[in-house]
Structures are given as C-alpha cells and as structure tokens.
Structure 1
Amino acid sequence: MTSHPITEEELHAYVDDALTDEHRAAVEEHLARHPADAERVAAYRAQKLALKALFQPVLDEPLPERLHALTVQPLRAPAGGGWPGGGLWQRIAAGLLVATLGGVGGWLAHGQYGPDRVARLVPLSHQAAVAHVVYSPDVRRPVEVGADQEEALVKWLSKRLGTSVRPPKLGGLGYELVGGRLLPGNSGPVAQFMYHDASGQRMTLYVTTEGTEKRDTGFRFAREGPVNVFYWVDGKFGYALSAGIDKGELAKVATAVYDQLEQK
C-alpha cells in the first residue's frame, strides 16, 4: 500500500518516466485502485505522444550551417592575449554562443517581426494542431464552457474576440458540440470549439482573427504529426478544423463547416 496520497505532480512525473522504480510501483498501485486517475494518466500519455509526433520533424532538423560553423571554427582571441586552454575554451565559448542564440534569437525575432509577422510565419494549421493535441485528450475538462451553455459560450467568445462567432451544427455528420474555450493567440484571444462523435473521437475548430488579411485564403490541407487539418481564411476570420481521422472524412466535415459559415 502507498504511504501517502499520490499527487498530480507525481502522476505527471510517472507519465514522464521521471520516478524511481519504488516510486513508480507505488503510483501503479494507486492507479490500479483509482480508475479515474488511470484514465487521466492514459490521456496524459496520449497527449505526450501526440505532441512528440507533432514537433519531432522540427527536432530532427539539422543545425543551420552558419551556427554549426561557430562550433568548429576558432574564435578570435582578445587583444593582448589568448584564452587559457586554447582550442578547448574556444569550443566551449562557441557552444555557449549557439545555445544563447536560440533563446535570444527568439526574443529578437519577437521584437523585430511583431505578432502579425509571427502569425504569418507560423502556419494556421500548426497553431490549430497544437491546440488540438493539447486539449482534445483531456478527460475531465476538455472545454471551459460546455455545450449545455452554448448561448453563454457564444456571447463570451464573441465579446472576447470583438466579433460574432458561433459553432457550426455538425450533428447531421455525427459530431456533436462538446463546448469551447478561449485560447491565447500571438496578439489576442483565439476561440476553439470542440466536437465528438459516438465513439468519442474529438474534433476541434480553431477560429482566429489574427493576421488574416495577409494569409493565403485558399482551402488547404495539412498533416501535422498525427493530426489532419483543413484550414482557410474567409474575410476577417481564419479557420482550421483538426482531428486524428481520415483525410476524406475530415474533408466532408470541413466542407459542411465552410458552407455553414458562408451562409452567415
């Protein structure tokens, strides 16, 4: 038996394989006796795997040549003398420089390009897919406001986005509204509506007003890791429909969403 209650932090550490064998055994014993926690841990694992699959292509990209060169080319010694240890210290300094460039470069890019520029650099499909894999596996609270309070949800999101937004009706295609939530965008709020079918398969519609005037307005498809996404721009809105289902099935739903939104 476990000698203390298992905390949420310990459950996350279990998912991240960050526990000792003894501690892991204690958590597994707890999960065997608490099905609700076991279900939540399973959702955390699915979320972790989805995020890994989504970002793995970026992690596998080679270091740009201009940065790689810094790690192999000698740095110029200061005037009046060199570094102690010669080449070893030069390479340590170069390595630190590369590590620093990652963080500082991101901050400088934020200041140089601004939120609208960043919104154009990051595809709408990727933003939507990240939001999908973060929230769709959540067992207890996948949305902030449920479908039973749809009118309140619509008023709240419309007020926060500064324009009227409403979730499409997809019951005819087998998908019912779960609810929705407010998400942080690059420079303001973004809305996410969530749906599910009879099997529990979840689908999300990401709605943004950021940088839409500078995005390609065509109806497009993207595969972001384990997530398929159809996305498009219509007037001042950008939409992205995401799900881990077949492209053809998602296309049918995306077409229905597009048609409904066009009628408004």
Structure 2
Amino acid sequence: MTGERPIGEDDLQAFVDGRLPPSRREAVKAYLADHPAAAAQVERETEQREALRARLSFKAREPIPSRLRIANLMADRQRSSRIRPAAIAAALAWLAVGGILGGWGGVWWASRSQRQAEAMSVADNAIAAHRIYVSERLHPVEVPADQEAHLVQWLSRRVGKPLTAPNLNAQGYRLIGGRLLPDSGAAAAQFMYENTGGNRLTLYARSGGNETQTSFRFEEQDEVSAFSWIDRGLSYVVSAKADRSQLLTIAETIYQQFEAASDPAKGRL
C-alpha cells in the first residue's frame, strides 16, 4: 500500500500474537493473500503458539485460592498493618501467569526463527538440486533403479541414517535412480522419479535438525513446488512441477510409507 512500510518479520510475529492494530492487520492479511508460502508459515506458527498456550492454560484455569483474592487481602491489611511477604509473592505469581505465557512466546519465536532458517536452507538446496538434475537426460542419476538395493544402502551409509526409496507407482511415478549430494557440509540423498509424460519428481533427504518431527511446509519457486518436513531426525523435501494438492498427496504417501517402514512390529527402522 502506498505510504506504508513493507510487511516485515515483526509484523508477522505481531499478527500471530494478535497484537496488530486493525489497519496494519488488514495490510498483513492482504500480504499473506499474495504470498502463499508466508501464509502457510504463519498458519503453522499460529497453530504451534496455540498449542503452547493450551499446554499452559491449565494454570490460568485454576481458581485463585481464597486467601489470595484481593478482597481478602484488603481485609487482612485492615486487620494488620503488615501483609506476609509470602502472600504478596503468591498473589503476584498468579498475576504473572499471563506474563509467563508472553515470555515463553518470545523464547519460542526466537527458536522458531532459527528452525525456520534451517528448514528453508534445506528446502532451497533441495529445489536447486532438483532444477539441475531433472533436466539432465544422459546422466540424471548416479545409480540407476535396477540397483535400488545398492543405492539405498549406499545413500543410507553416507547420510548416516536408514533411508527408503518410496514406491510411487500408484501416483504414476517410477523410480529411475538416485545420487549423493553435498548440503552445507553434510551428505544428502536424492531419489528421482519420472511419470509417463516425462515429468520428474525428486525426494531429497539429509540428516540434521533439532526437531524429531514437524508438519509439512509448502513453498513454490519458479513453477517448482515443494513440501518439506522433518521426521526422526531426517529432513525431507519432495519437489516437482505439480500443483499443491497433487504434490501434497504424494508427500503424504511418502510419509505414510516411511511410517510403515519404521513400525517396530515389522522389525524395521
């Protein structure tokens, strides 16, 4: 909007916290409507913040003990010129519940920013690798699909965690192979798939991240769509020239296959 400063990270934080004035809130809503990736991030962070509040809400719902109610404290004061320090401290502790929530939110936001930067770095690297190799016709992969067992074992050893090449035949994509890639000093694996129309899809995986599991994060860069997530200490990114709903179905299929492969009852990781 003319005359208004650009929407920044502070605006998005205030939007999640519900602290924006009405005019600025409308500006942020308009910005999010034009930036789907930012809107998806804000939606996820709002859900996480609400989850944090829900975990702490039990304390706010507890009734204030009668000895700490203002009327009773005032009555005690009239009876005595001195109020016990312990009672004052307890009353202040109840009033500070809201402040604690806000303080924890600030810590949460700082750690969120670091996690978000790490996730974006992995996704950017995965999309860049996707662009480079999907257009390669002679050597799109290092190890072809007819050596799948060797490919999975090799990449698992280099990445440092057990990997699986998902079966996407039902989604119209067949595995054509994979390769080893560098990512910020670490090893990353790329599995490549192709459909009958020649459109290629890649699954990128690397070890790392401070979280054991996250929800899907969507972004789009120059017609390449990507969903990224973390599961059991592995960062995954699935990329393709596909619309969001189609790629989400594929991402969910991959996730479900990984969950089935990690079922202890099946004796696999």
Question: What's the TM-score once normalised by structure 1's chain length?
Answer: 0.53
User: Which residue number corresponds to residue 121 of structure 2?
Assistant: 123
> 2:210 corresponds to which letter in structure 1?
E
Gaps of 5+ in 1: 1-115
SS of the residue corresponding to residue 205 of structure 1 reads strand
Pairwise CA RMSD of aligned residues? Answer: 2.1
Aligned length: 148
Distance 2:118 2:212 in 1: 7
SS in 2 for 1:123: helix
TM-superposition CA deviations, 1:67-97 (whole Å, max 9, x none): xxxxxxxxxxxxxxxxxxxxxxxxxxxxxxx
Give the aligned partner of residue 175 of structure 2.
177
**Deviating more after overlay: 185-194 vs 118-127:** 118-127
TM-superposed deviation, 1:214: 5.1
Q: Deviating runs (4+, > 3 A) in structure 1? A: 116-119
Instruction: Say if 1:126 and 1:224, in contact at 8 Å, map to a contact too.
Output: no
- Offset of residue 236 of structure 1: 0.9
Q: 1:258 to 1:117 in 2, by over 3 A?
A: closer
1:196 aligns with 2:190: no
Structure-to-structure mapping, 1:36-185, within 5 angstroms: 120=118, 122-185=120-183
Give the share of equivalent positions with the same residue, in percent: 40
In structure 1, the residue corresponding to 2:163 is in which secondary structure? coil
Separation in 2 of the partners of 1:135 and 1:195? 11
Deviation at 1:187? 2.2
1:229-248 per-position Cα deviation (integer Å, ceiling 9, x unaligned): 01101111111100011211
State the 1:216 CA deviation.
7.6
> What are the Cα deviations for residues 206-241 of structure 1, in whole angstroms up to 9, with x where unaligned?
00113x115982211111222100110111111110
Aligned partners of 1:207 and 1:240 also within 8 Å:
yes
| Alignment correspondent of 1:236 | 233
When residues 181 and 119 of structure 1 are mapped into structure 2, their CA distance, relative to the original with a 3 A threshold, is farther
Using the alignment, how far apart are the partners of 1:153 and 1:258 within structure 2? 20
Shift of 1:123: 3.1
Aligned partner of 1:220 in structure 2 is 217
Q: How far did residue 135 of structure 1 move?
A: 0.6
| Secondary structure of the structure 2 residue equivalent to 1:213 | coil
1-structure distance, mates of 2:213, 2:257: 21
| C-alpha distance in 2 between matches for 1:241 and 1:136 | 13
Change (3 A) 1:194 1:224: same
Give the one of 249, 260, 263 matched to 1:263.
260
Aligned in 2, Cα 1:219/1:141: closer, same or farther, shift over 3 Å? same
SS in 1 for 2:175: strand
**Distance in 2 separating the partners of 1:125 and 1:160:** 20
Partner of 2:250: 253
Q: Residue deviations 1:152-209, cap 9 Å, x none?
A: 1011111111221111001011110010000001122100000000011000000011
- CA distance change for structure 1 residues 215 and 234 in 2, over 3 Å: closer, same or farther? closer
Aligned equivalents of 1:249, 1:117: Cα separation in 2: 27
Contact 1:120 1:215 in 2 (8 A): no
SS at match of 2:190: strand
